Amino acid sequence: MKSAGEDTQRGPVLEASGVTMRFGGLTAVDGVDFTVGEREIVGLIGPNGAGKTTFFNCLTGMYVPTAGRVTYRGTPLSGKPHLVTKTGIARTFQNIRLFPNMTALENVKVGRHCRTTVGALSALVRGPKYRREERETEARARELLDFVGLADTSDGLARNLSYGDQRRLEIARALASDPGLLLLDEPTAGMNPQETQQTKDLVFKIRERGLAVVVIEHDMRFIFTLCDRVAVLVQGRKLTEGSPGEVQRDERVIAAYIGTPAGSEQS
Ligand SMILES: Nc1ncnc2c1ncn2[C@@H]1O[C@H](COP(=O)(O)OP(=O)(O)OP(=O)(O)O)[C@@H](O)[C@H]1O
Ligand SMILES: [Mg+2]
């Protein structure tokens, strides 16, 4: 798969520096620096309300950060989600956002929209260019449904899919925009252990296609066996980051999860 922006720039895929997001008096994300390299799988963990989803929203143009800078392969990002998608960042949502009354195939085709070029007039009269692009879009959507393991359900309505399959469908839809970076917000929430394992295998396969991936997840086993690197957010700030082994051993991380200030427990 040729990713958006590939070959245009060396260096990190994503570089966020000093990203801050305030809502009135609440600082949900506080001066976060975060870098993702080519083909890296990076975990973003932290307790509920730590600012993980808000940080994703700052990366994808859903929020314009109060302060800070985000670049994708060296290009500063605009504050408009559809432009960010076109630049090369795709995402899935913590709360699944599909078109429930459209088929699985149609949902993936919608995800391809930012890569189609045909003008309104050609679409209206269904000219040759429109028909060719439509065929390509459909072929690509079917290939992606097959890739995520949903080839057999392509004509079923999204709302009739199991929860796990809906999450997989969201990934297919995100991939349809040909991203170079995929952001997954709790991709295994509500999944059984077998589906979680399949999702892990799928993320590895996505990396093999040349993408970098950032994953928010509360399932630590999933995170620590999947990611090359893990960053920990606590109350909007990056507490630490490192290899899964380093983060797992870090007492501050354990303390943050159980709500005990680090160092407050005497041995
Ligand atoms: N649009 C908003 N307006 C006001 N406050 C918000 C908004 N979005 C998020 N917040 C607040 O920002 C903080 C961080 O929320 P966020 O959803 O980013 O956390 P999270 O780390 O994704 O948590 P979880 O693991 O529960 O999904 C929370 O205190 C939340 O209430
Ligand atoms: Mg969240």
The CATH number that applies at residue 32 is 3.40.50.300
Question: For residues 68 and 18, is the Cβ–Cβ distance under 8 A?
Answer: yes
Give 63's pLDDT tier (boundaries 50, 70, 90): very high
Q: Distance from the CA of 138 to the center of ligand 1, in angstroms?
A: 36
Average pLDDT, the chain: 90
Give the pLDDT mean for 82-110: 94
* Residue 67 is assigned to a structural domain of this protein: yes
Question: For residues 86 and 114, is the Cβ–Cβ distance under 8 A?
Answer: yes
* Residue 96 is assigned to a structural domain of this protein: no
Euclidean distance between CA atoms 81 and 246, whole angstroms: 34
pTM attached to this predicted model: 0.91
* Residue 240 is assigned to a structural domain of this protein: yes
Residue 199 has pLDDT above 80, yes or no: yes
Residue 91 has pLDDT above 70, yes or no: yes
Which residues have beta carbons under 5 A from ligand 2 (an ion)?
52-53, 94
Q: Number of structural domains, the chain?
A: 1
* Residue 224 is assigned to a structural domain of this protein: yes
Q: Whose CA is nearest to atom 17 of ligand 1?
A: 53
Residue 33 has pLDDT above 80, yes or no: yes
Burial class (CB in 10 A: 0-12, 13-18, 19+), 23: exposed
Q: Bigger pLDDT: 10 or 151?
A: 151
Give 232's pLDDT tier (boundaries 50, 70, 90): very high
User: Phi and psi dihedrals of 240, rounded to 5?
Assistant: -165, 170
pLDDT at 257: 83
Residues spanned by the domain of 247: 1-78+216-267
* Residue 250 is assigned to a structural domain of this protein: yes
DSSP per residue over the chain, as a string? Answer: -PPTTTTS--S-SEEEEEEEEEETTEEEEEEEEEEE-TT-EEEEE-STTSSHHHHHHHHTTSS--SEEEEEETTEEPPS-HHHHHHHTEEE--SS----TTSBHHHHHHHHTGGG----HHHHHHT-HHHHHHHHHHHHHHHHHHHHTT-GGGTTSBGGGS-HHHHHHHHHHHHHTT--SEEEEESTTTT--HHHHHHHHHHHHHHHHTT-EEEEE-S-HHHHHHH-SEEEEEETTEEEEEE-HHHHHH-HHHHHHHHT--TT-S--
Dihedral angle computed from the Cα positions of residues 46, 172, 3 and 127, in that order, rounded to the nearest 10 degrees? -140
Instruction: Report the percentage of the chain scoring pLDDT > 90.
Output: 78
Give the pLDDT mean for 169-184: 97
Place of tokens 């899964």: 244
Q: Whose CA is nearest to atom 25 of ligand 1?
A: 48
**Is the CB of 28 within 6 Å of ligand 1?**
yes
Give the pLDDT mean for 124-149: 86
Question: How does pLDDT run across 253-263, given as a tens digit for each residue?
Answer: 989 887 755 44
**Is the CB of 236 within 6 Å of ligand 1?**
no
Euclidean distance between CA atoms 244 and 61, whole angstroms: 29
Question: How does pLDDT run across 109-121, given as a tens digit for each residue?
Answer: 998 887 777 666 6
Residue 38 has pLDDT above 90, yes or no: yes
* Residue 16 is assigned to a structural domain of this protein: yes
Burial class (CB in 10 A: 0-12, 13-18, 19+), 79: middle
* Residue 244 is assigned to a structural domain of this protein: yes
State which of 19, 20, 22, 26 you would mutate to test the pocket of ligand 1, scoring each by most atoms of that ligand within 8 A of its C-beta.
26
pLDDT at 258: 74
**Tokens for 231?**
């960053």
pLDDT at 55: 98
* Residue 62 is assigned to a structural domain of this protein: yes
Provide the residue count of the chain.
Answer: 267
pLDDT at 127: 72
pLDDT at 229: 97
Give 267's pLDDT tier (boundaries 50, 70, 90): very low
